[in-house]
Chain A
Amino acid sequence: MTMRPGVRKAVLTTHVSSSVGWLGAIAAFLALSVAGLTRQDVQLVRAVELGMVWIGWTVLVPLSFASLLTGLLQALGTEWGLLRHYWVVAKLLMNVFANVVLLMFVQSLGSPSYARSDAPPVHAAVALVLLLLATILSVYKPRGVTPYGWRKQRERRLAAQRRWNTVP
């Protein structure tokens, strides 16, 4: 099912906003986690921990879900499809992986031992790289159709040829 242009643009706007917002929130989370790891001031470290918990639950999780949901809608509701182009499949895999890992780690955020370990900056840095890669794929849209996408393209081409041949 293909979305109408107005709906498609609204979903695309939401997808870009949530995905870029997610990227920015992870950058903020990374800065906080580095501050929590390198500073000695107990009050500052406690404030950093609270900040990471707030960012995790109120910004990272909603934006990551919004990015995944609108990405699925955008793929399924347009000619791009979900499994037709390798770059769409790659983005889907990265988004699902990042969502799963985020959901698993966000539960540890309230723990002082987690906040004061080197795990948060490492997790944030990996997530940042993944989301940057997803952004690059979205902009460049590298060539390459999957075998499924190729079959669909071929079916459409053959159907068009048949229609052309039956025109009186």
Chain B
Amino acid sequence: MFAVIRIPEFPLRARLRFEPALRGRPVGLLAGEGRRAVILHASPAARGVFPGMTAARALAECPALQLLNPSPVAEREAGAFLLAAAWTLSPAVEPAAGGTCTADLTGASRNKLPEQLRALRRRLGAGGLPVKIGIGSNPLLARYAAQVAEPEYRVSDPRAFLNGLPLSLLELAGDEARFFRDLGLRTLGSITAFPRAALTARLGARGDELWALAAGEWNRPIQPAPFPVRHVAELELEEPVETLEPLLFALRRFCERLAVEAGQFGHGTTRLALGLTLADEKIHARDFDLPEPTASADALFAVLENHLSALHTDAAIVALRLEAFPARRLVQQEGLFDTGLKDAAMFHGTLARLAAVVGAENVGTPRRADTHRPDAVVLGPPAAAVPARVPPAAPAPHGPLLRRFRPPLAATVELTEARPSFIMSAAAQGELTIVRRPFWSNGDWWTAAAWAHEEWDVRINRGLYRLRHAPEGWFVDGIYD
């Protein structure tokens, strides 16, 4: 299961996050320069203004319209906030351009997911970034779902879902769009109804690719982004700031993102470093030590607000920088009801995700099964607390540990005087030297699963192996290492 989180009109939203004065006013974001500049996005208050209009025509339609240029810095900041919020859903998140990211939800709790998604929308919405979320069985379906989500859409029947989707989702080149229009194909379903081979014959490899996209086929694993080493937010202000309000507004945005980002891994922010660049090229720098690690944006912001409300600078502020330093939250002394875990919720969450990745039968704490049969180990749930070690009753172990081949490797063994002397197997082949005489063992003879075999410890070339002779043949069980 995958989730695609998309911020519609991302460049405009990212820009307006740091412009409180423009909230609710008609605003248009420009693409291009000079007379060729056209409207890329327009705010809802800009009535009569649509994407693609020239700036002059947009102003004619809406004289109060304020025109802005995209801000790469604001977009980077908004993208980082989106990524940090997505990490609360899953550690495997692939960011994409234009305010979109894909989260791998494998192993996520189905019961908790709806609430997690609501919390994510609330968090990003409060930060000025309303999002749409699509959920599907692969990243492509989730991406399509995010395009039609209001504000969430989960794809339950991919075929029915894809049939009705418009062709515009495929991001076709001009001549490709014309080609499909001439053929009368308007939806993804109409493309998949067209024979794949015929489309490939017409458009070559691109035709095959488009057919696969229309069918919702996805073969590439997502490439998760690395976690940031440092948690820094920076902004260069277009207009120097002389009053407190816009400064606090920007810092509030920083705190919202840094609290989430530095709060990963069960951490909290324990120190903040604020840097204000003044118009006279001086820098006002101040570090704040917090009484305890916190992941609350309000707590971080309160510290900054207290400091800045009493601050007077000689010049206006032209740039700001805030860095958060995470630390493990306070560890308390273990009590009677303590679990012995640093972060119990994360431990069980990780186990659930591991089980989803490799299968529940492949995760757990190993214990010997109630039999003398070799390699009879069962996996059980890990204990909530690791108890003190109980000294074993058996004598101290001898020899190196065995690394098993699972399943055991079948071998062809040549005998000389009823003893193995030459072996051919996938693990090793050649003459062998017997290091230890055979150990005979059998068990479960009172059941249908009776077993009996002899084990030889042998040296083949420079490795020490365990060889087993059972009624089914010879096997290499493992290598001593």
Is the pairing of A and B real? Answer: no
